[in-house]
Chain A
Amino acid sequence: MAKTALQFLHNGRDVAIFVDGGTNLLVALRELIGDMTPKFGCGQGGCGTCSVLIDGELHLSCLTLAETVAGRSVETLDGIKNGPNLHPLQRAFADNFAAQCGYCTPGMLMAAKALLDRNPQPSRAEVVEAISGNICRCTGYEPIINAVLAAASGGRARA
């Protein structure tokens, strides 16, 4: 099977892999690079568990043809910590008990990061909109919304 060479920035690090035709970015990240933080939830674009940032924009890695990220920057949950320190969103999710089974958490955090990167002080409605493409089956969303709002106001307190 013919493979295509693919080079891109993975959480700030240059990576090069060979992909089969039609391989999606989720498979490339998990099986070829070994970054298990994005999860498979549906492969249909309906659940958001595979969410990553491509050049800072929220994308679904399961619907992204891997070779389209050549030369671009791909950020996953694995890259949002600052060294050993948790990202404020990670801390806020923990403090607000915003995870139960934890499976939607990576995608939720990426969706929330995409929001706060552009809009550091969102309203509740904006938070709801930002996570609307991500399914959580455990929490009822309330603690997740609260966590994102807390991370936003925490950022303001520190600024």
Chain B
Amino acid sequence: MTRHRGRGIASVNYPIGMNLGGDPSQALVHSNPSGKFTVALSSIDLGQGMKSVTRQICAETLGVPVEDVYVDTADSDTGPHCMGSFASRGTHRVGNAVMAAAREARGVMMEAAAEELEVNAADLETDGRGNIHVKGAPHRSISTKDVAIAAQFKQGKTISGRGIFLVPLSDVDPETGEMSPATCYAHACLVAEVEVDDETGEVDMVRMDSAYELGRALNPRLVEQQLVGGAWMGVSHALYETPEPFYPEPVHGPRDFVEYLMPGPGDICPHDIAVLERPAPDGPFGAKGPGEMCANPVLPAVANAIFNAVGVRIDDLPITPEKVLRAIKAQGGARPQPRR
């Protein structure tokens, strides 16, 4: 028995938002009389962290602490229209809508504060801790709570804002394919190291090193969740998963989690990640969206690492031990490539 190690790389980019645009999202932001804000969305959080990231966007834009913002999602009566959570559009599209709504609400808040402090709104700034004060004169200050009370009960103003974000739908030239698919792209490069058993074709992951460029990491912990989980899914797609193991023949489809193969907690490997931030001109605080693209580089990097380890190219996904073993036998044994 011999086990061979190999390394492979892949680099990719990924379009952010629904292809060709035409996918609006809306947001509403309003304050209660205590100066606490609610963001109303119909958008869906399916684990990617929509609620949390839009909450930070709203707080930053309003200039209030994140604790003062609560994001309510997924209600068609209270939340305005959103196209949905797919195509890496959450952070970019919904984030922009929330930013626009928060900006409008902030405008009213600053006007109301200006009226209370008897200054021009343009001379005011927020301290991010729940206070609004005159630029250069922190003692001339009012809390957002007092502003909210004044706006509500004295001035008769609603501290609220509406936001929509829409990349207009663009057309496609049927002949040349000329089109405007996306306004910004995320990028990644990943190095995978594998170990291949040349008698059984089994492939074990040894480690991964990666660099992901995703505009701005609005919340590094959430980014880490996406990248770690997404790379796991990439390994899973590369080596394990399919509901049609004998595709295109539709037989022996898995019926449960024993037959549907996904790497278990004993199959994972160390993954060292670097995050690069080249802000997107039209992203909320420059953000793009890490959710989808994170799995993509893993698949080819693993395939290329297998070639480096034993000299066989498997161009069919998933790369099962059977495919590796058949290829090794076809070439008359493992042919390790120069180690790199």
Q: A42-B257, A97-B225, A132-B265 are in contact. Are A140 and B231 (CB under 8 A)?
A: yes
Residues of B within 8 A of A145 (CB): 265
Query: Would you call A100 and B47 a contact (CB within 8 A)?
Result: yes
B252 nearest CB across to chain A (Å) = 17
Residues of B within 8 A of A139 (CB): 225, 228-229, 232
- Judge whether B266 is part of the interface by a CB distance below 8 angstroms: yes
Residues of A within 8 A of B139 (CB): none
Q: A46-B257, A140-B268 are in contact. Are A100 and B49 (CB under 8 A)?
A: yes
Determine the residue in chain B with the shortest Cβ distance to A103.
Answer: B47
- Judge whether B258 is part of the interface by a CB distance below 8 angstroms: yes
Query: Would you call B229 and A138 a contact (CB within 8 A)?
Result: yes
Query: Would you call A138 and B47 a contact (CB within 8 A)?
Result: yes
- Judge whether B221 is part of the interface by a CB distance below 8 angstroms: yes
The docked-state distance in angstroms from the alpha carbon of A140 to that of B221 is: 14
The docked-state distance in angstroms from the alpha carbon of A44 to that of B257 is: 9
* Interface residue count on the A side (C-beta < 8 Å): 24
- Judge whether A141 is part of the interface by a CB distance below 8 angstroms: yes
The docked-state distance in angstroms from the alpha carbon of A131 to that of B266 is: 10
Kindly identify, within residues 113 to 159 of chain A, every residue whose CB is under 8 Å from any CB belonging to chain B.
Answer: 127-129, 131-132, 135, 137-145
Query: Would you call B256 and A46 a contact (CB within 8 A)?
Result: yes
- Judge whether A5 is part of the interface by a CB distance below 8 angstroms: no
The docked-state distance in angstroms from the alpha carbon of A138 to that of B264 is: 12
Residues of A within 8 A of B48 (CB): 100
Kindly identify, within residues 196 to 250 of chain B, every residue whose CB is under 8 Å from any CB belonging to chain A.
Answer: 221-222, 224-225, 228-233
The docked-state distance in angstroms from the alpha carbon of A42 to that of B231 is: 25
The docked-state distance in angstroms from the alpha carbon of A140 to that of B268 is: 8
- Judge whether B276 is part of the interface by a CB distance below 8 angstroms: no
The docked-state distance in angstroms from the alpha carbon of A141 to that of B224 is: 13
- Judge whether A1 is part of the interface by a CB distance below 8 angstroms: no
The docked-state distance in angstroms from the alpha carbon of A141 to that of B268 is: 8
What 0/1 readout, one digit per residue, does chain B (42-77) give for beta carbons within 8 Å of chain A? 000011110000000000000000000000000000
- Judge whether A47 is part of the interface by a CB distance below 8 angstroms: yes
Inter-chain residue pair count (beta carbon < 8 A): 61
- Judge whether A102 is part of the interface by a CB distance below 8 angstroms: yes
The docked-state distance in angstroms from the alpha carbon of A68 to that of B12 is: 54
- Judge whether B262 is part of the interface by a CB distance below 8 angstroms: yes
The docked-state distance in angstroms from the alpha carbon of A145 to that of B256 is: 24
B50 nearest CB across to chain A (Å) = 11
Query: Would you call B257 and A140 a contact (CB within 8 A)?
Result: no
Query: A100: which of B229, B256, B257, B271 is its contact (CB, 8 Å)?
Result: B229
Determine the residue in chain B with the shortest Cβ distance to A130.
Answer: B265
Query: Would you call B265 and A97 a contact (CB within 8 A)?
Result: no
Residues of A within 8 A of B266 (CB): 128-129, 132
Residues of A within 8 A of B233 (CB): 137, 140
Residues of B within 8 A of A137 (CB): 233, 262
- Judge whether A2 is part of the interface by a CB distance below 8 angstroms: no
Determine the residue in chain A with the shortest Cβ distance to B266.
Answer: A128
Query: Would you call B225 and A100 a contact (CB within 8 A)?
Result: yes
Query: Would you call B228 and A140 a contact (CB within 8 A)?
Result: yes
Query: Would you call A142 and B257 a contact (CB within 8 A)?
Result: no
The docked-state distance in angstroms from the alpha carbon of A158 to that of B255 is: 45
Query: Would you call B268 and A97 a contact (CB within 8 A)?
Result: no
What 0/1 readout, one digit per residue, does chain A (29-44) give for beta carbons within 8 Å of chain B? 0000000000000101
Residues of B within 8 A of A131 (CB): 265
Q: A128-B265, A128-B266, A135-B262 are in contact. Are A140 and B47 (CB under 8 A)?
A: no
Determine the residue in chain B with the shortest Cβ distance to A144.
Answer: B265
Residues of A within 8 A of B224 (CB): 97
B7 nearest CB across to chain A (Å) = 20
Query: B221: which of A97, A135, A141 is its contact (CB, 8 Å)?
Result: A97
Residues of B within 8 A of A144 (CB): 265
15 pairs, A vs B, C-beta closer than 8 Å: A44-B257, A97-B225, A100-B47, A102-B47, A127-B265, A129-B266, A132-B264, A138-B47, A139-B225, A139-B228, A140-B229, A142-B228, A142-B232, A143-B225, A145-B265
* Given A44-B257, A138-B47, A138-B229; 17 other pairs, CB 8 A cutoff: A42-B257, A46-B256, A97-B222, A97-B225, A100-B47, A128-B264, A132-B266, A135-B257, A139-B225, A139-B228, A139-B232, A140-B229, A140-B230, A140-B231, A140-B232, A141-B265, A142-B232
